[in-house]
Amino acid sequence: MNTFAFTKKLLVILGIATVTGIAGAQSFPDRPITLVVPNPPGGLVDTSARLLSEPLTRVIGQTIVVDNKPGASGNIAYQYVANAKPDGYTLLISYSGYHVGNPALMDKLPWDPIKDFSPIALLTVSTNVIAVHPSVPVNNLKEFIAYAKANPGKLNYASQGNGSVSHIGTEMFKQTTGVDMVHVPYKGSGPAIQDVLAGQVQVFISTPPSVMQHVQSGKLKGLAVTGKNRHPGMPNVPTTAEAGLPSFQLESWVGLFAPVGTPAPIVAKLTDSVKKSLALPEVKERADVAGVELRYLNPAQTDALVKKELPYWNKAIKSAHITLD
């Protein structure tokens, strides 16, 4: 076959592929869409997925299925979606602790935060809450720091797992304040909060969905929220700045990502549908009750956020000498 004939045949093949891709995008979705969650039920990530699934079902016209695939510090879910067919039917509910934390925690990560995923939208953002069991004899953050310093190594703190935001964030809190506490990792917020409520572990720095109802009921003491503003569900809990620790802030985010190579028209339709879903008044009401802040960002903005936070978390993790390998 001469060069002209080969080039002509290649253009025909590419043309057919383009037409097929456009046709597929126009009919999307024609079957259920699965949101893969890297955490067990309960906590910020699962809550965010379920906040989105019901309104997105109505907006996009197909059933949205939430599939929890916890384990291996999120890697089971991330690798599953990275290897999925890029057709818009298998999507990742991504947690900042995994997306921008794991690359610094593991030398042999089986997925790449940039090369393997196409951002669809940022969904939610959450501050964190410094919560302690009532058995800890303190009433505010200053008293807690003083007590922890006076009792080095006697307090245990829970995390959602090695390398999670609650783990990294608490290590940053230890560095900032000079306290010494023992790390007890769990597989997600649900198992962690059970032991914290039982008093087997005394401290938990986690997102509001994990601890808010227990702070409200008095089962846990809320010492401070780690954002710039007080949380509406816990108006009596001061910010870290108000509590005398302005240098410590900690925020988590959850986003929606597709496997890289997903056709642009499908990504655009998903992005538009997510934006419409999050704008529904009832979704805002449900988010407020759950203690989650809705914060939509488009694909370009979400991509910029990831690229900004990767070096920040790399520095924080390396400073705390945290590894998962």
Q: Which domains does the chain have, with CATH numbers?
A: 31-125+252-320 (3.40.190.150), 129-225 (3.40.190.10)
Average pLDDT on 138-155 reads 98
- Is the pLDDT at 10 greater than 70? The verdict is no
- Is the pLDDT at 63 greater than 70? The verdict is yes
> Could you read off the pLDDT of 24-52 as tens digits, one per residue?
577 899 999 999 999 888 878 999 999 99
Among 198, 123, 122, 128, which Cα is nearest to 159's? 128
> Could you read off the pLDDT of 195-248 as tens digits, one per residue?
999 999 999 999 888 899 999 999 999 999 998 889 988 999 999 999 999 999
- Is the pLDDT at 17 greater than 50? The verdict is no
Residue 158 near residue 189 (C-beta atoms within 8 A):
no
CA 269 – CA 120 distance, rounded (Å): 9
- Which residue type sits at 293? E
The pLDDT > 70 percentage for the chain reads 92
According to the per-residue pLDDT averaged within each range, which of 53-57, 95-99, 209-213 is highest?
Answer: 53-57
Which pLDDT belongs to residue 5? 52
> Could you read off the pLDDT of 264-287 as tens digits, one per residue?
999 999 999 999 999 999 999 999
Confidence of residue 153 (pLDDT cuts 50, 70, 90): very high
Average pLDDT on 149-168 reads 92
Residue 258 near residue 118 (C-beta atoms within 8 A):
yes
The chain-wide mean pLDDT, for the chain, equals 91
Beta strands in 38-100 (DSSP E): 64-68, 90-95
Which pLDDT belongs to residue 20? 47
Which pLDDT belongs to residue 252? 86
Predicted TM-score of the model (pTM):
0.78
**Which tokens hold the place of 182?**
């023992």
Residue 42 near residue 160 (C-beta atoms within 8 A):
no
- Which residue type sits at 202? Q
Which pairing describes strands 156-159 and 182-185: parallel, antiparallel, or unpaired?
A: parallel
- Is the pLDDT at 77 greater than 70? The verdict is yes
Write the burial class of residue 216 (CB in 10 Å: 0-12 exposed, 13-18 middle, 19+ buried): middle
